[in-house]
A and B are shown apart, each in its own frame.
Chain A
Amino acid sequence: MTKVMMYTLSTCPWCKKTKQWFNDRNIPFDFVDYDKAEKDEQKVIQDRVRKENLTLSFPIVYIDDKVIQGYSPDKYDEMMSKK
């Protein structure tokens, strides 16, 4: 079962579109709204994102071990269809 996890912001329209994309296809996912998270969880997210050599620009989506930054429906489609 493919695991989809995403870091988002409650203020970001592209994050809303990303959640909508997976919801529309009934693909289950976990998410953390970074701006609603506790400080220590934010730190964990910062460290993980930096390890990916990415900035704290959202949305950031993990499909299994692959990471996609930015609203990218084509990439989601491509990766989900491989599964």
Chain B
Amino acid sequence: MDMEASKQALREQFEPIVTAMGFKFSPDKEIVEFLLEQEVNLHAQHGIPFCPCKGLTGDRTEDMGKVCPCIPWHRAHFDRMKRCWCGLYVHLDVDDPDKLPQIPEELG
């Protein structure tokens, strides 16, 4: 597996999708590179690029909400944080992602 080519493939696949939702890749290049690498590995392991910061249960319905980009499943939560949980994506107007804390999701 060519890691860089695989990361680029994920980048090209995700960018138009998240842009349409008002998000972009984080300006924090280091985090983006690390997270994409983890997703390439998760993709190789599970056949799906799951979020590197959410635990899987093996329950297909529950784990579907952890498939990157998982923004649609957590829209209100991520809009509140102006970032997704793992920090791969931020709102389009975000320049300094370090200022955006992880806030627990409010369950119904």
Q: Within the complex, which residue of A9, A42, A45, A54 is in contact with B53, where a contact is CB–CB below 8 Å? A: A9
> A residues near B, CB below 8 A?
9, 11-15, 34-35, 39, 42, 45-46, 53-58, 69-72
Give the number of chain B interface residues (Cβ < 8 Å). Answer: 22
The 8 A-B residue pairs with the shortest CB-CB distance in the complex, in nearest-first order: A70-B102, A56-B55, A11-B52, A11-B38, A12-B53, A69-B104, A34-B55, A57-B85
Which residues of B pack against A, CB within 8 Å?
31, 34-35, 38, 41-42, 52-58, 85-87, 101-105, 107
* Cβ contact within 8 Å between B53 and A72: no
Interface SS of B by simple majority: loop
The closest CB in chain A to the CB of B59 belongs to: A46
Q: Bound complex: CA of A14 vs CA of B85, how far in Å?
A: 10
List the A side residues contacting B85 at CB < 8 Å. 57, 70
**Docked-complex contact A11 and B55, CB < 8 angstroms:** no
Alpha-carbon gap, A57 to B85, bound state (A): 8
Q: Please tell me if the beta carbons of B102 and A55 are within 8 angstroms of each other in the complex.
A: no
Which residues of the partner chain B approach A15 to less than 8 Å between Cβ atoms? 53
Contact of A55 with B107 at beta-carbon distance under 8 Å, contacts A9-B53, A11-B52, A11-B53 already known: yes
A74 to chain B, nearest CB (A): 8
